[in-house]
Amino acid sequence: MESGIPSHKGHFVYILQCADNTYYTGYTTELLRRINQHNSGRGAKYTRGRGPVKLVYMEEGESRSWGQRREEAIKRLSREQKELLVKVQGLEKLKDVDTDECAAKLS
């Protein structure tokens, strides 16, 4: 997912997978900058020493208040529920893949 990290400003809620296989959930207005901060040790205290981190989930909303509410809601989820959220987003992205084009490249 990291190759598709938005570089524009917005209101993003995200889940990072740390090197120790734990999850970190956060909110930011500049997702690419924030992930770079996490990976350079200048992010949240939780992610320091747990890097490198990998973006596994993100949502973009319309306002700061939305982002903060959504961040809190995700933080209340169990690990299993977060894993399901990550998997569902991955499945949604697969809907956009042109399966005929993929098949042609394989043959």
- Condensed to tens digits (0 to 9), the pLDDT of residues 81-101 reads 999 999 888 666 545 544 454
Query: Can you tell me whether residue 61 is helix, strand or coil?
Result: strand
Domain residues for 81?
2-106
The predicted-structure confidence for 4-17, as pLDDT tens digits, reads as follows: 788 889 999 999 99
Within a 10 A sphere around the Cβ of 76, how many other Cβ atoms?
Answer: 9
The pLDDT of residue 1 is: 45
Overall number of domains in the chain: 1
CB 11 within 8 A of CB 60: yes
Q: What is the CATH number of the domain that holds 40?
A: 3.40.1440.10
Q: What is the pTM of this model?
A: 0.80
pLDDT-derived band of residue 102, with 50, 70 and 90 as boundaries? very low
Span 32-61, mean pLDDT? 89
